[in-house]
Amino acid sequence: MAPKSLNQPCEDKVLLDLWHPLGAVEAMPRNRVRHDRLLGVPLTLGRSPEGRPAVWRRPPDGPQPTVWPAEGPTGPTLPVIEQYGCLWTSLGTPRPIFPIPEAEERDRRLLHAGSVMLHTSAPRAVENFLDMGHFPFVHTAVLGDEPHTEVKDYTVEVSVADQEILATDCVFYQPQAALGAQGGADVDYVYRVPHPHCSVLYKSSPGYEGRLDAIALFVQALDQERIRAHMWLCLLDDDQPDWALRRFQMSIFGQDKPILENQLPRRLPLDPRAETPIRADKSAVAYRRWLGQLGVRYGVIAGAA
Protein backbone atom coordinates (compact mmCIF):
# COMPACT_ATOMS: atom_id res chain seq x y z
CA MET A 1 0.00 0.00 0.00
CA ALA A 2 1.34 3.38 -0.92
CA PRO A 3 1.30 6.04 1.75
CA LYS A 4 -1.66 8.31 1.25
CA SER A 5 0.45 11.21 0.01
CA LEU A 6 1.38 9.17 -3.09
CA ASN A 7 -2.18 9.58 -4.37
CA GLN A 8 -2.29 13.34 -3.85
CA PRO A 9 -2.39 15.46 -7.01
CA CYS A 10 0.93 16.75 -8.27
CA GLU A 11 1.94 20.19 -7.03
CA ASP A 12 5.08 20.65 -9.13
CA LYS A 13 4.39 23.69 -11.26
CA VAL A 14 7.12 22.61 -13.66
CA LEU A 15 5.12 19.45 -14.44
CA LEU A 16 1.68 21.02 -14.32
CA ASP A 17 2.69 23.54 -16.98
CA LEU A 18 3.70 20.85 -19.47
CA TRP A 19 1.73 18.94 -22.08
CA HIS A 20 1.12 15.32 -21.06
CA PRO A 21 0.09 12.41 -23.30
CA LEU A 22 -3.25 10.68 -22.83
CA GLY A 23 -3.06 8.00 -25.50
CA ALA A 24 -3.48 7.33 -29.18
CA VAL A 25 -5.70 9.68 -31.11
CA GLU A 26 -7.30 6.74 -32.93
CA ALA A 27 -8.19 5.11 -29.58
CA MET A 28 -10.70 7.92 -28.87
CA PRO A 29 -13.83 7.14 -30.85
CA ARG A 30 -16.46 9.80 -31.53
CA ASN A 31 -19.32 10.15 -29.09
CA ARG A 32 -17.51 8.12 -26.39
CA VAL A 33 -15.71 9.17 -23.24
CA ARG A 34 -13.23 7.40 -21.02
CA HIS A 35 -12.09 8.01 -17.45
CA ASP A 36 -8.50 8.47 -16.71
CA ARG A 37 -5.95 10.10 -14.42
CA LEU A 38 -3.04 12.43 -14.91
CA LEU A 39 -0.63 13.42 -12.15
CA GLY A 40 -3.13 12.27 -9.56
CA VAL A 41 -6.01 14.28 -11.05
CA PRO A 42 -9.13 12.38 -12.22
CA LEU A 43 -10.08 13.29 -15.79
CA THR A 44 -12.71 12.47 -18.35
CA LEU A 45 -11.69 12.56 -21.97
CA GLY A 46 -13.47 11.86 -25.18
CA ARG A 47 -14.57 13.02 -28.57
CA SER A 48 -17.81 14.79 -29.32
CA PRO A 49 -20.19 13.44 -32.00
CA GLU A 50 -18.63 16.07 -34.29
CA GLY A 51 -15.17 14.66 -33.64
CA ARG A 52 -13.90 17.42 -31.34
CA PRO A 53 -11.66 16.04 -28.54
CA ALA A 54 -12.10 17.39 -25.03
CA VAL A 55 -10.64 16.72 -21.60
CA TRP A 56 -12.11 17.87 -18.32
CA ARG A 57 -11.57 17.43 -14.61
CA ARG A 58 -13.88 14.85 -13.08
CA PRO A 59 -14.94 15.00 -9.45
CA PRO A 60 -13.32 11.94 -7.81
CA ASP A 61 -16.65 10.32 -6.94
CA GLY A 62 -18.66 11.66 -9.86
CA PRO A 63 -20.62 9.48 -12.29
CA GLN A 64 -18.69 7.65 -15.00
CA PRO A 65 -20.74 7.64 -18.19
CA THR A 66 -19.27 6.05 -21.31
CA VAL A 67 -20.99 8.19 -23.93
CA TRP A 68 -20.42 11.83 -24.68
CA PRO A 69 -22.75 13.76 -22.32
CA ALA A 70 -25.58 15.48 -24.19
CA GLU A 71 -24.81 18.74 -22.39
CA GLY A 72 -21.11 18.51 -23.27
CA PRO A 73 -18.21 18.45 -20.81
CA THR A 74 -19.43 18.21 -17.20
CA GLY A 75 -16.46 19.95 -15.62
CA PRO A 76 -13.89 22.64 -16.38
CA THR A 77 -12.18 21.72 -19.66
CA LEU A 78 -8.43 21.56 -20.11
CA PRO A 79 -6.37 22.57 -23.16
CA VAL A 80 -5.98 19.81 -25.77
CA ILE A 81 -3.68 19.20 -28.72
CA GLU A 82 -3.18 16.27 -31.05
CA GLN A 83 0.48 15.69 -31.73
CA TYR A 84 2.80 12.73 -32.46
CA GLY A 85 -0.13 10.34 -32.67
CA CYS A 86 -1.31 11.22 -29.17
CA LEU A 87 -3.87 13.42 -27.53
CA TRP A 88 -2.13 15.75 -25.04
CA THR A 89 -3.43 17.93 -22.26
CA SER A 90 -2.08 20.17 -19.54
CA LEU A 91 -3.14 20.98 -16.00
CA GLY A 92 -1.44 24.39 -16.09
CA THR A 93 -0.33 26.96 -18.60
CA PRO A 94 1.66 25.08 -21.23
CA ARG A 95 4.28 26.40 -23.61
CA PRO A 96 4.36 24.84 -27.09
CA ILE A 97 5.15 21.13 -27.04
CA PHE A 98 8.77 20.05 -27.67
CA PRO A 99 9.60 19.59 -31.34
CA ILE A 100 10.35 16.30 -33.08
CA PRO A 101 11.39 17.68 -36.49
CA GLU A 102 11.48 14.19 -38.06
CA ALA A 103 7.69 14.01 -37.70
CA GLU A 104 7.47 16.62 -40.49
CA GLU A 105 9.53 14.58 -42.95
CA ARG A 106 7.25 13.39 -45.73
CA ASP A 107 8.73 9.93 -46.27
CA ARG A 108 8.33 8.70 -42.72
CA ARG A 109 5.95 6.12 -41.27
CA LEU A 110 4.24 7.53 -38.17
CA LEU A 111 2.68 4.93 -35.94
CA HIS A 112 1.33 4.69 -32.41
CA ALA A 113 2.81 1.35 -31.37
CA GLY A 114 0.83 0.80 -28.21
CA SER A 115 0.04 1.90 -24.67
CA VAL A 116 0.75 -0.13 -21.55
CA MET A 117 0.17 0.60 -17.88
CA LEU A 118 2.90 -0.14 -15.38
CA HIS A 119 3.40 -0.07 -11.65
CA THR A 120 6.34 2.30 -11.59
CA SER A 121 7.08 6.01 -11.66
CA ALA A 122 7.44 8.05 -14.84
CA PRO A 123 11.12 8.88 -14.16
CA ARG A 124 12.04 5.19 -13.67
CA ALA A 125 10.49 4.43 -17.07
CA VAL A 126 12.34 7.30 -18.78
CA GLU A 127 15.63 6.32 -17.18
CA ASN A 128 15.21 2.74 -18.40
CA PHE A 129 14.54 4.05 -21.90
CA LEU A 130 17.88 5.91 -21.82
CA ASP A 131 19.80 2.83 -20.74
CA MET A 132 21.80 0.69 -23.18
CA GLY A 133 23.57 -1.57 -20.66
CA HIS A 134 20.50 -3.75 -20.19
CA PHE A 135 20.09 -4.67 -23.86
CA PRO A 136 21.98 -8.00 -23.72
CA PHE A 137 20.21 -9.08 -20.54
CA VAL A 138 16.64 -7.86 -20.95
CA HIS A 139 16.33 -7.75 -24.76
CA THR A 140 18.49 -10.81 -25.33
CA ALA A 141 19.17 -11.68 -28.97
CA VAL A 142 17.17 -8.65 -30.13
CA LEU A 143 18.80 -5.39 -29.01
CA GLY A 144 21.88 -7.00 -27.49
CA ASP A 145 23.51 -10.31 -26.75
CA GLU A 146 26.13 -11.59 -24.36
CA PRO A 147 29.09 -11.44 -24.36
CA HIS A 148 28.88 -8.08 -26.22
CA THR A 149 28.04 -6.07 -23.12
CA GLU A 150 30.33 -3.07 -23.17
CA VAL A 151 28.81 0.41 -23.02
CA LYS A 152 31.39 2.57 -24.70
CA ASP A 153 31.88 6.13 -23.60
CA TYR A 154 29.37 8.61 -24.98
CA THR A 155 28.61 12.29 -24.63
CA VAL A 156 25.88 13.86 -22.53
CA GLU A 157 24.91 17.50 -22.62
CA VAL A 158 22.26 19.30 -20.67
CA SER A 159 21.12 22.27 -22.61
CA VAL A 160 19.60 24.83 -20.30
CA ALA A 161 18.23 26.94 -23.13
CA ASP A 162 16.36 24.10 -24.79
CA GLN A 163 15.48 22.46 -21.50
CA GLU A 164 16.61 19.08 -22.66
CA ILE A 165 19.20 16.36 -22.20
CA LEU A 166 21.06 15.07 -25.23
CA ALA A 167 23.18 11.89 -25.28
CA THR A 168 25.20 11.46 -28.46
CA ASP A 169 27.89 9.15 -29.87
CA CYS A 170 26.15 6.19 -28.25
CA VAL A 171 27.07 2.86 -29.81
CA PHE A 172 25.86 -0.58 -28.90
CA TYR A 173 26.25 -4.01 -30.42
CA GLN A 174 23.04 -5.42 -31.87
CA PRO A 175 22.99 -9.13 -32.72
CA GLN A 176 20.73 -8.77 -35.73
CA ALA A 177 21.50 -5.31 -37.03
CA ALA A 178 18.57 -5.34 -39.44
CA LEU A 179 15.72 -7.61 -40.36
CA GLY A 180 17.10 -10.35 -42.53
CA ALA A 181 20.70 -9.33 -41.81
CA GLN A 182 23.23 -11.99 -40.94
CA GLY A 183 25.31 -11.31 -37.88
CA GLY A 184 25.55 -8.40 -35.53
CA ALA A 185 26.95 -4.93 -35.81
CA ASP A 186 27.37 -1.78 -33.80
CA VAL A 187 24.33 0.46 -33.98
CA ASP A 188 24.44 4.20 -33.34
CA TYR A 189 21.99 5.81 -30.97
CA VAL A 190 21.12 9.35 -29.97
CA TYR A 191 18.87 10.03 -27.03
CA ARG A 192 16.89 13.16 -26.26
CA VAL A 193 14.99 13.95 -23.10
CA PRO A 194 13.00 17.05 -24.04
CA HIS A 195 10.42 16.62 -21.24
CA PRO A 196 10.75 15.09 -17.76
CA HIS A 197 8.38 12.29 -18.79
CA CYS A 198 9.24 11.88 -22.47
CA SER A 199 12.24 10.69 -24.42
CA VAL A 200 13.04 10.22 -28.08
CA LEU A 201 15.69 7.83 -29.28
CA TYR A 202 17.23 7.88 -32.73
CA LYS A 203 18.97 4.88 -34.16
CA SER A 204 20.66 4.13 -37.42
CA SER A 205 18.30 2.72 -40.01
CA PRO A 206 19.70 0.08 -42.35
CA GLY A 207 19.43 1.17 -45.96
CA TYR A 208 19.06 4.85 -45.06
CA GLU A 209 22.65 6.00 -44.60
CA GLY A 210 22.92 9.17 -42.58
CA ARG A 211 19.29 9.19 -41.46
CA LEU A 212 17.88 7.89 -38.24
CA ASP A 213 14.69 6.17 -37.14
CA ALA A 214 13.00 7.91 -34.23
CA ILE A 215 11.26 6.00 -31.46
CA ALA A 216 9.55 7.93 -28.70
CA LEU A 217 8.37 7.05 -25.23
CA PHE A 218 5.68 9.36 -23.88
CA VAL A 219 4.86 8.60 -20.27
CA GLN A 220 1.55 9.55 -18.72
CA ALA A 221 2.01 9.66 -14.95
CA LEU A 222 -1.34 8.45 -13.62
CA ASP A 223 0.03 9.02 -10.16
CA GLN A 224 3.44 8.86 -8.54
CA GLU A 225 3.88 5.09 -8.87
CA ARG A 226 1.52 4.21 -11.70
CA ILE A 227 2.02 5.14 -15.33
CA ARG A 228 0.75 4.52 -18.82
CA ALA A 229 3.55 4.36 -21.36
CA HIS A 230 2.78 5.36 -24.96
CA MET A 231 5.18 4.26 -27.69
CA TRP A 232 5.34 6.17 -30.93
CA LEU A 233 7.36 5.33 -34.03
CA CYS A 234 8.63 7.63 -36.74
CA LEU A 235 10.39 5.28 -39.12
CA LEU A 236 12.00 5.26 -42.52
CA ASP A 237 11.12 1.60 -43.07
CA ASP A 238 7.97 0.93 -45.02
CA ASP A 239 8.29 -2.77 -45.73
CA GLN A 240 6.74 -4.20 -42.62
CA PRO A 241 3.02 -4.21 -41.84
CA ASP A 242 1.80 -2.10 -38.92
CA TRP A 243 1.00 -5.17 -36.85
CA ALA A 244 4.56 -6.46 -37.11
CA LEU A 245 6.02 -3.12 -36.01
CA ARG A 246 3.53 -2.88 -33.13
CA ARG A 247 4.20 -6.44 -32.10
CA PHE A 248 7.94 -5.83 -32.06
CA GLN A 249 7.67 -2.67 -29.91
CA MET A 250 5.20 -4.25 -27.53
CA SER A 251 7.35 -7.29 -27.08
CA ILE A 252 10.40 -5.11 -26.35
CA PHE A 253 8.45 -3.02 -23.91
CA GLY A 254 6.95 -6.15 -22.38
CA GLN A 255 10.49 -7.22 -21.51
CA ASP A 256 11.21 -3.93 -19.74
CA LYS A 257 7.95 -4.02 -17.84
CA PRO A 258 8.77 -6.66 -15.21
CA ILE A 259 12.17 -5.07 -14.62
CA LEU A 260 10.52 -1.71 -13.95
CA GLU A 261 7.90 -3.34 -11.74
CA ASN A 262 10.62 -5.05 -9.71
CA GLN A 263 12.61 -1.89 -8.99
CA LEU A 264 12.65 -0.77 -5.38
CA PRO A 265 11.73 1.89 -4.53
CA ARG A 266 9.34 2.70 -7.36
CA ARG A 267 9.95 6.41 -7.30
CA LEU A 268 13.30 7.49 -8.70
CA PRO A 269 15.78 8.36 -5.95
CA LEU A 270 17.65 11.58 -6.74
CA ASP A 271 20.17 11.26 -3.91
CA PRO A 272 23.39 10.13 -5.62
CA ARG A 273 23.99 7.76 -2.72
CA ALA A 274 20.71 5.91 -3.11
CA GLU A 275 22.10 3.67 -5.86
CA THR A 276 25.45 2.99 -7.53
CA PRO A 277 26.06 4.80 -10.80
CA ILE A 278 28.78 3.70 -13.22
CA ARG A 279 30.16 5.47 -16.27
CA ALA A 280 27.59 3.77 -18.49
CA ASP A 281 24.91 5.60 -16.50
CA LYS A 282 26.07 9.07 -17.46
CA SER A 283 22.78 9.95 -19.09
CA ALA A 284 20.84 8.64 -16.08
CA VAL A 285 23.02 10.67 -13.74
CA ALA A 286 22.39 13.77 -15.86
CA TYR A 287 18.66 13.02 -15.92
CA ARG A 288 18.45 12.65 -12.14
CA ARG A 289 20.41 15.85 -11.62
CA TRP A 290 18.24 17.68 -14.16
CA LEU A 291 15.03 16.59 -12.43
CA GLY A 292 16.49 17.88 -9.15
CA GLN A 293 17.42 21.20 -10.74
CA LEU A 294 13.97 21.58 -12.27
CA GLY A 295 12.56 21.14 -8.79
CA VAL A 296 10.58 17.99 -9.65
CA ARG A 297 9.26 16.28 -6.51
CA TYR A 298 6.50 14.17 -8.05
CA GLY A 299 7.48 10.56 -8.84
CA VAL A 300 10.92 10.98 -7.29
CA ILE A 301 12.50 10.70 -3.87
CA ALA A 302 14.17 14.05 -3.39
CA GLY A 303 17.92 14.13 -2.83
CA ALA A 304 19.50 14.67 0.56
CA ALA A 305 20.67 18.07 -0.76
Q: In terms of CB distance, is 176 or 263 closer to other proteins?
A: 263
Give the interface with other proteins as residue ranges (CB under 8 A).
1, 115-119, 133-134, 136-138, 140, 146-151, 243-244, 246-247, 250-255, 257-259, 261-265, 269, 271-280
State in angstroms the smallest separation of the CB of 272 from other proteins. 4
- Cβ neighbors of 45 (< 8 A, separation 6 or more) are 22, 28, 33, 34, 36, 53, 54, 55, 56, 87, 89
The least distance separating other proteins from the CB of residue 61, rounded to whole angstroms, comes to 17
Supply the minimum distance, in Å, between the C-beta of residue 124 and other proteins: 9
For the chain, give the number of residues.
305
How far, CA to CA in Å, does 284 sit from each of 29, 98, 275, 301? Answer: 38, 20, 11, 15
Shortest gap between Cβ of 242 and other proteins (angstroms)? 9
Give, in degrees to the nearest 5, the angle at Cα 228 between 157 and 220.
Answer: 55
Nearer to other proteins, 69 or 272 (CB): 272
Shorter beta-carbon distance to other proteins: residue 244 or 294: 244
Give the nearer residue to other proteins in terms of CB position, either 14 or 27.
Answer: 27
Shorter beta-carbon distance to other proteins: residue 115 or 224: 115
- For 249, the 3-state DSSP assignment is helix
Q: Which CA distances in Å does 213 have to 234, 261, 285, 297? A: 6, 28, 25, 33
**Closest distance to other proteins from the beta carbon of 233 (Å):** 16
